[in-house]
Amino acid sequence: MPSKKSPRPANNELNPYTRFFNAQKSLPPDKDGQKQGVCNRESVYVLSNKARGKRRSGRENNQPTWRRRGGGGGNEDTIMVVTQDNTQQPKDKPLLTASQLDSICYDIIKEPPMQFHVNGTDIAPSIRGLRLSVCVEHTRFQLVAKVTRNMGFQHVPEHRLWNIQWSDSTPHHDLLRNMKRFQQINHFPGMVEICRKDLLSRNLNRMLKMFPGDYRIFPKTWLMPTDAYDVAIYASKHKRTFILKPYSAGQGRGIWITTDLRTVGKREKLICQTYIERPLLIDGYKFDLRVYTLVTSVDPLRIFVYNEGLARFATQKYVPPTIGNSHNVFMHLTNYCLNRRNSQYMVGNGPEAGSKRKLSAFNKWLLDHNYDVSEFWASVDDAIIKTLISAWPTLKHNYNVCFPKHDKIQASFQLLGFDILVDWKLKPYILEVNHTPSLSADESVDMEVKRPLIRDTLNMLSTALVDKEQIIRDDRTEHRARLLRNIYNKKAAAQMPGYSSPIREAGGHEVRQACSIGALTQQIAWEESHLGNYRRIMPPRDSAKVNYYCKFYEQNKQPMFADTRASRRREELNHQAMQKHQRERQQDLMQQQQAQNRIGKQVRWPGDQVQAAQVSPVILQSRRRREEAEAHAKKHRALIAREIQRQKEQLLAPTCAKERLGIWQSVRREKRRQCSPKRSSSITKAHRRKQQRNLSQRARQQRMLELEAQRDAKFLEEHAKKQRLEGGRITGQSAIPGSVGKITEKSRSSLTKQPRTRGKHVLQKKIHRESSNHSQMTKCKVELTPATKAEASANWTAGSISEVETSQLLDWRKERGNRLKETGLRELIFSKMYENGHLTKNDIKCFPDLLYQILNNEEASSR
């Protein structure tokens, strides 16, 4: 992202983009009331304006006024430009001639004046847009931000309506689909087809197979491990050195050179290439070329190559690879990232020195050494075109899918970096295509090459040909109309005042055609007039070459896999399988016919009684098959339903043990309901297991009740003892242990015989409550012998139950509850369930002790 503090250009600096406006619109009408063109050609006039950084209001305030002065003579119009701030034109010298205007005018028709004829009319590019913005948030190259700022682009964040986005990585599909019709991005979807080493070699190999004479533009390449066998055969026949590269690494990472392919791992994903052992050397150093290529359109394919580029040199003198030196990356690899780490790296000092030189210096060297420079570059252009054509079907398809609405300008452009190695015969080889070539400016030579490169690239874009605001307005109107159409109907929306569908304007089709022919012609006119240091290589200027490249576009129609060994084998096997199948069918039919003859005219299928004899065996067989298939499908469906039910139950089972128990019980209930009289063996087993479970559960419940009763008895005993100690009116004999088990009917009746005082009545109530509580609490029956019973009834009188006693009772109840919990009732149940196979270890992991115990037991039993 560009720094906010970066210096802005001075106001009087020329700026061909942000400050241009259509002079035609601003010009005052002449005497006849007609607006006339300036200099009879469409031009964009640039005017320095103080408020250029501001938004719309600023621009409007500083809108310059134009005044035409008559009598300029000839073609020369004399125009006076007056700005509000008067910075550009001092008041004492307000007159400008058209030729003077040229100094602040950005002419779009420069050399050579282009003439385009579409349906008999001349076409020249027209400009409508006023202000261009660029989003450089997603590029790490500061130079892009710098150059765009200097060119007058407004920097905006991604969420704003930028005109151009410059990003380092291929943007997400969503971004591409949501792009507005005036927006452009620096990536074509699908360019990865040539930008990843494996895909590039796959595409080039495919093309080589189809056009063996034409596609020798890259070293022989195999994809490991797929082509391991082929390369092994090649290696056995030819004594060659191979270079191995990872599929998608860059900057020389993971590359090594070898003559022995047995060192390559069997499953390693690598590119195996024949090593170019005799490269062209300059001063004894190996080098490769970085050729910058701009693609402005894929349908039709338009490719431009930048005349300037870089030659990157290795930092140690080249010696053909031997076992001793093949590991020396500074000798064999020419990557800048690698070589700059070498102490012998030379920072460019003049055009013909340094480890990084300009292509112009390389061309000079070629000339000096009597090489044919133009022929060399023609072969480079040819290799670039062929490489791009190999991905053309994908590029075209992806573009049309992603940008169906871009009818005015191209939605994408891409600056590619081709790495080209030249051999001693001056034959170029494509090594790699970079989708985001480095635009960092580490050295002065970088600056000299890359700064104009970025500028010329942006100039080439026909972004200015669209009127952003108009498109936004059109899209809004269209959107509103679509909404209305949904609410009312199509007719009502079409009759809306002021509505003119841009779709209809574009040619009357509901679906917009990507870039109409008119828009394309405008784009071509623009590009041809803004080439800068670019040269067009596609479409080629030579018509003979146009025809030559045409055949490569037909690649989709070629039977690509028709002649491979695998496809031949597949075809053979298919043929054999089909023959076998036919033979079997014939045999089946014969057997059936024989069987029918033997049985006579026996009716085998319901509904066939009448014509059973006439039904051919083929039909009978097909019917049987159908029925079998139906039965099978039914069975299958039932199985699936059962499985779904089972999984549903499993999924529904919550982690809480208590609820799990509930689920388990519901499952039991469900199973019980499902159990039919005709039980399968598995169901009977389950039933038996269930019964066992029930039994053990009942026994457990019984045991618990007993336990509870014992505790109650103990409590009562203690209670009685306490009362005795506190001076309850129990006589000595009544303190027989076990005699105070339960308040009997007799004792109660004796209580009721007491005189009815108010206090006593309350007491009686209390006792009654207590006794009923006790009787509810304890279901055990403590049997008393008749003698003790009599004694107890004779001697026992109820003492008052104090507050302390009541709280004790409550405490006791609480304690009892806790104890019950402590006994691990749930653990008990779960361990039983685990034993019976209803739960897994995973289910009972919420009881770590239990799990631990189970594991211990299992270990012990296994031992």
Which residue in the block uniquely carries the two structure tokens 């009408």?
A: 29
Stretch that binds ligand ADP, among 273-281, 741-749, 762-770, 781-789 (CB under 6 A): 273-281
Residue with smaller CB distance to ligand ADP, 421 or 720: 421
Phi, psi at 106, each rounded to 5°? -105, 95
Stretch that binds ligand ADP, among 104-112, 209-217, 241-249, 618-626 (CB under 6 A): 241-249
What the block records as the tokens of 847 is 């009881």
Stretch that binds ligand ADP, among 251-259, 534-542, 571-579, 650-658 (CB under 6 A): 251-259
Cα distance between residue 767 and residue 775, in whole Å: 12
The 3-state DSSP class for residue 640 equals helix
Closest approach of Cβ 127 to ligand ADP, in Å? Answer: 40
Given 333, 385, 453, 767, the residue binding ligand ADP (CB under 6 A)? 333
Binding of ligand ADP at residue 273 (CB under 6 A)?
Answer: yes
Dihedral angle of Cα 500, 505, 506, 511, to the nearest 10 degrees: 50
Stretch that binds ligand ADP, among 47-55, 272-280, 386-394, 601-609 (CB under 6 A): 272-280
Residue with smaller CB distance to ligand ADP, 219 or 428: 219
Cα distance between residue 175 and residue 180, in whole Å: 10
Contact 797, 729 (CB under 8 A): yes
Given 207, 276, 366, 458, the residue binding ligand ADP (CB under 6 A)? 276
Which residue in the block uniquely carries the two structure tokens 């385009």?
A: 116
Binding mask 417-436 for ligand ADP (x = CB under 6 A): --x-x---------xx----
Amino acid symbol at 792: A
* Pick from 634, 611, 580: nearest CA to 619: 611
Binding of ligand ADP at residue 381 (CB under 6 A)?
Answer: no
Strands of 225-275, DSSP E? 242-246, 256-258, 270-274
Quote the crossing angle between the two packed helices 786-795 and 745-752, to the nearest 10°.
Answer: 20
Closest approach of Cβ 837 to ligand ADP, in Å? Answer: 59
Given 170, 334, 438, 771, the residue binding ligand ADP (CB under 6 A)? 334
The 3-state DSSP class for residue 118 equals strand
In angstroms, how far is CA 113 from the centroid of its own chain?
Answer: 47
* Residues 252-271, interacting with ligand ADP (CB under 6 A): 252-253, 255
Given 250, 351, 393, 738, the residue binding ligand ADP (CB under 6 A)? 250
Stretch that binds ligand ADP, among 125-133, 327-335, 486-494, 498-506 (CB under 6 A): 327-335
Identify the sign of the CA torsion 726, 728, 731, 736: negative
Residue with smaller CB distance to ligand ADP, 20 or 218: 218
Stretch that binds ligand ADP, among 328-336, 549-557, 699-707, 742-750 (CB under 6 A): 328-336
Phi, psi at 836, each rounded to 5°? -80, 0
Binding of ligand ADP at residue 204 (CB under 6 A)?
Answer: no
Closest approach of Cβ 246 to ligand ADP, in Å? Answer: 8
Binding of ligand ADP at residue 282 (CB under 6 A)?
Answer: no
Residue with smaller CB distance to ligand ADP, 261 or 333: 333
Angstrom CA distances, 479 to 491, 494, 495, 505, 712, stand at 15, 12, 15, 15, 83
Cα distance between residue 435 and residue 73, in whole Å: 53
Closest approach of Cβ 277 to ligand ADP, in Å? Answer: 8
Residue with smaller CB distance to ligand ADP, 254 or 532: 254
Stretch that binds ligand ADP, among 245-253, 320-328, 762-770, 812-820 (CB under 6 A): 245-253
Closest approach of Cβ 437 to ligand ADP, in Å? Answer: 11
Sequence-separated (6 or more) residues with CB below 8 Å from residue 565: none
Binding of ligand ADP at residue 243 (CB under 6 A)?
Answer: yes
Closest approach of Cβ 95 to ligand ADP, in Å? Answer: 58
Given 219, 321, 354, 741, the residue binding ligand ADP (CB under 6 A)? 219
Cα distance between residue 222 and residue 206, in whole Å: 12
Residue with smaller CB distance to ligand ADP, 244 or 303: 244
Binding of ligand ADP at residue 275 (CB under 6 A)?
Answer: yes
Binding of ligand ADP at residue 335 (CB under 6 A)?
Answer: yes
Residue with smaller CB distance to ligand ADP, 275 or 399: 275
Which 8-state DSSP code applies to residue 841?
A: T
Stretch that binds ligand ADP, among 33-41, 249-257, 661-669, 701-709 (CB under 6 A): 249-257
- What is the helix, strand, coil percentage profile of the chain, to 5? 50, 15, 40
Binding of ligand ADP at residue 326 (CB under 6 A)?
Answer: no
Residue with smaller CB distance to ligand ADP, 418 or 552: 418
What the block records as the tokens of 43 is 């031009």
The site that binds ligand ADP (CB under 6 A) totals a number of residues, namely 20
Cα distance between residue 2 and residue 141, in whole Å: 9
Residue with smaller CB distance to ligand ADP, 194 or 243: 243
* Residues 691-730, interacting with ligand ADP (CB under 6 A): none
DSSP string over 284-314: TEEEEEEEEEEEEEETTEEEEEES--EEEE-
Cα distance between residue 490 and residue 217, in whole Å: 56
Given 198, 288, 382, 712, the residue binding ligand ADP (CB under 6 A)? 288
Binding of ligand ADP at residue 223 (CB under 6 A)?
Answer: no
DSSP string over 467-483: -HHHHHHHHHHHHHHHH
Amino acid symbol at 647: Q
Cα distance between residue 333 and residue 182, in whole Å: 43
Given 251, 489, 587, 593, the residue binding ligand ADP (CB under 6 A)? 251
In angstroms, how far is CA 526 from the centroid of its own chain?
Answer: 36
Identify the sign of the CA torsion 134, 135, 136, 139: negative
Q: Using CB under 6 A as the criterion, which residues of the chain lie in contact with ligand ADP when the complex forms?
A: 219, 243, 245, 249-253, 255, 273, 275-276, 288, 333-335, 419, 421, 431-432
